[in-house]
Structure 1
Amino acid sequence: MPSDSAIATQSSIQPVKADVTPLKEARPRRALKVCLLGYRSAPYGGGQGIYLKYLSKALVDAGHQVDVISGQPYPHLDSRVNLIKMPGMNLFETGLGSIRPHHLTSLTNIYEWMGKLTGAFSEPYCFGRRVLKYLKEHGRHYDIIHDNQCLSYGMLALQKQGFPLITTIHHPITSDLNIALKAANSWTERVLIRRWHSFLIMQRKVARELHHVVTVSERSRMDIAAAFDMQPAGISLVHCGIDTEEFKPLDHIVKNPNRVMATVSSDQPLKGMRYLLEAVAAVVPKYPDLELLLVGTPREDGESGQLIRKLGISKHIRAVSGISTEDLVKYYNEASVVVVPSVYEGFGLPAGEAMACGTALISTDGGALPEVVGDAAIQVPVRNSAAIAEVLETLLASPAWRDELAVAGRARIEELFCWTRAAQQMTNYYWQVIQRENG
């Protein structure tokens, strides 16, 4: 059973009930031709790629025709979804050394190259230019253009030219900026952080002029409104989903009592990996066989890589990357505990995936995570490695408590956060926009 202090940690957090009120029914009449946009969409790169993968699949399941236009790295899509590749220079993967003279015959390529050269993140802007050019020639047959947080000037140009555009904003990147600045160790580091986030100037301007914006959680709706000076009532809400047919408990898998798991989508302060690593270092003396499985590999010279060496826990860390969804589900099932240590999440897909797989979850109360996990996980305050360590140690010692959380987590995801529900609500929203645009 959990200790008194751990129970206090658990009970001090008030569960948040998800708002699952559906959007007003818009009387759909036929299957839609939908075009989803993503400037970089690989699922191992973060939640935006996962969102594209599963939303497109759910829309196809609902009977719609779906194309995805994406820059590199490209998404992993259902075979029924058509991928239209919109390659950029992909300099964050290939580096400046990949530049060839023919690349610089394009003004958009020059913008992207100059951005990388000066420490800016110009991919969303350049993707918007490329998509605008493509859709002006090839995109008039779509019923809906659905932008996945590109928020570039190209999107405003599409809107002005009469394309039926909606935009998902997962959360305001201003949150990422503020967290990164707080974690910076020097003024030079803060200058570089501000330079990289300079695309926010564009996003703020674009977001305020968009006619149709949707987000994935109530917390994100309020944060977006505050960050971009918008009215919350003007931002629609359609929660993300979890594919509960894919992410599910596997009866043939035996849980490893010493394995803890976490997803490392990026080595950034926003994800709170530092606090999990410190917690693991605190628990290891009592559990010397403890293994932390990281899905995603921290950079050797990054903050997490350096901290692992400093804490002397390298032998307790195992990292896997580029894995299939099948392997990811297996790892969720093998783990005794999954930890989401994020300082902020606009939704928190890894939390939902772990719960859907029937694994006990420790989550911070960062961003929308309380909205997603409710009382089916143990919540701890953000930036608190001691709280993570205390609950983790108690959970490792209590199989019965882990089993209770596993059952509650699966039930919550099945009830509130399936992609079928999300696709139905998104379809309603599409039809509202179409009817509004057509007068």
Structure 2
Amino acid sequence: MRPKVILDAGPAVHQAAGLGRYATELATALWRGESNRTELALFYNDHSGHRLPAALTNVPSSRLPMGQYRWRLSALASQVVRRPNLQRHLPPGDIYHATEHLLPRMARRTVLTVHDLIFRHLPETHTWRNRAFLATAMPIFARRADAIIAVSEQTKRDVVTAYGVPAAKVEVIPEGIDQDLFQPVCTGCDLSRTLQQRHGDYLLMVGTLEPRKNHAAAARALAILNQRGRSLNLVVVGGSGWKFSPFHKLVEELNLGTRVHFAGRVPDAELPTYYTNARVLLQPSLYEGFGFPILEAMGCATPVVSSNRSSLPELAGDCALLVDPTEPAAIAHAVEQVLDQPRLRSEMIRGGRKRAATFTWAEAARRTVDIYLSLL
């Protein structure tokens, strides 16, 4: 049987960071590579006026014009009263796949993707309203879903521990990266020359500007390195998040105003150039459910210094240097190892490229369809 799957494409429409990438890339891979095993249709709440990414415009879709908060509360309410009130707004189908942490009650089989439980581990990084919603809703969503996809072993452990769901109900399906895009680029091209002139020798961080990404530790490590005679800059790529003003103050306190460069949100097509020209990618996050920059940097032949917490060690394997993200001196030392040991750098680049090549959206889509078929 070829099941019809209604996939929530809301993150692809409304978000540009990790959740948006997951929904976009998974839906694209399902549409292009798994149409012989599943019939795909998209659904999203049309609260922002945005539309589907270009890659998904040919996929059958429907939308519900409902405000963001009303949609979230209605999804939770439908689970509380155990009535599939929202299903009438969806096209017919066999399976509903919630690609973010929002699962309405359905009179059909359901799949829930859980990306992380950061709101439990680092509650201070979420607004009180979002914490309250997720603390109430996620136990219900996790228990009511027929199957759960976790994007990492760390997330699976968190879900099983926090909500008591059977481990057999949670399948780990890692996310992928665009294998064609994240490759080394010519360091003599126009953009490369521009970056070299603008930023010199630089360390790179990629991700939304928010406290859990731990830019502060990266800045302190940069200060240590430059005090030791290095001449390095830190390039920060990512859109504005929340609670980030203390970082700007820290940069000034450390006299790094000319050393920390904010590039803002960069088009995906330009990211490989930022990675390729960086001396080292820093990923000192306090918590991640996955961590795209590690794999993207490895694909672009850039060495990685990463936090040793949450899901990051399982992504990095033995191809990155892992450090305590709360110890700027340890971060600085790891960077110096990469810069001063050519053999180590070469080994990290070679191993990293092989590792990054194993994380594909085609494989994620194939295994996701296996989950769909198991529910029939």
TM-score interval (norm. to shorter): 0.7 to 0.9
In 2, distance between residues paired with 1:197 and 1:138? 28
Look up the SS of the partner of 1:410 in the other structure: helix
Q: Which amino acid aligns with 1:46?
A: A
* Aligned residue number for residue 324 of structure 1: 267
Q: Which amino acid aligns with 2:176?
A: G
Q: Does 1:432 align with 2:374?
A: yes
Name the stretch that deviates more: 391-400 or 35-44. Answer: 35-44
Post-superposition offset of 1:37: 1.5
The match for 2:73 among 122, 125, 137 is: 125
The match for 2:24 among 40, 47, 53 is: 53
Q: Does 1:243 align with 2:243?
A: no
Q: Does 1:147 align with 2:98?
A: yes
1:214-242 Cα distance to aligned partner (Å, 9 max, x none): 11111111111112222222211211111
In 1, distance between residues paired with 2:62 and 2:360? 27
- The answer to whether the 8 A contact 1:39-1:123 is kept is no
Gaps of 5+ in 2: 79-83
In 2, distance between residues paired with 1:351 and 1:296? 15
Q: How does 1:277-288 map to 2 (within 5 A)?
A: 277-287=219-229
Name the stretch that deviates more: 330-339 or 256-265. Answer: 256-265
Cα root mean square deviation, aligned: 2.9
Q: Which amino acid aligns with 2:8?
A: L
Q: Which amino acid aligns with 2:110?
A: L
Look up the SS of the partner of 2:55 in the other structure: coil
In 1, distance between residues paired with 2:188 and 2:24? 26
Q: Does 1:226 align with 2:171?
A: no
Q: CA 1:138/1:83 → structure 2, altered by over 3 Å: closer, same or farther?
A: closer
Look up the SS of the partner of 1:292 in the other structure: strand
- The answer to whether the 8 A contact 1:151-1:207 is kept is no
The match for 1:197 among 92, 107, 131 is: 131
Post-superposition offset of 1:198: 0.4
The match for 1:387 among 318, 322, 330 is: 330
The match for 1:337 among 270, 275, 280 is: 280
In 2, distance between residues paired with 1:318 and 1:346? 27
- The answer to whether the 8 A contact 1:333-1:357 is kept is yes
Post-superposition offset of 1:252: 5.0
In 1, distance between residues paired with 2:14 and 2:182? 15
Post-superposition offset of 1:302: 2.0
Post-superposition offset of 1:300: 9.1
Post-superposition offset of 1:176: 4.4
Post-superposition offset of 1:327: 0.8
TM, length-normalised to structure 2: 0.83
Q: CA 1:266/1:81 → structure 2, altered by over 3 Å: closer, same or farther?
A: farther
Aligned residues: 354
Q: CA 1:281/1:123 → structure 2, altered by over 3 Å: closer, same or farther?
A: farther
Look up the SS of the partner of 1:323 in the other structure: coil
- The answer to whether the 8 A contact 1:172-1:223 is kept is yes
Q: Which amino acid aligns with 2:168?
A: A
- The answer to whether the 8 A contact 2:34-2:365 is kept is no
1:38-87 Cα distance to aligned partner (Å, 9 max, x none): 55446974311111121112112214344252554666451444565555
1:388-415 Cα distance to aligned partner (Å, 9 max, x none): 111112323344432321121110121x
TM, length-normalised to structure 1: 0.72
Q: How does 1:63-82 map to 2 (within 5 A)?
A: 63-64=34-35, 65-70=40-45, 72=48, 76-79=53-56, 80-81=58-59
- The answer to whether the 8 A contact 1:69-1:85 is kept is yes
Post-superposition offset of 1:174: 3.6
Post-superposition offset of 1:177: 3.5
Q: Which amino acid aligns with 1:403?
A: S
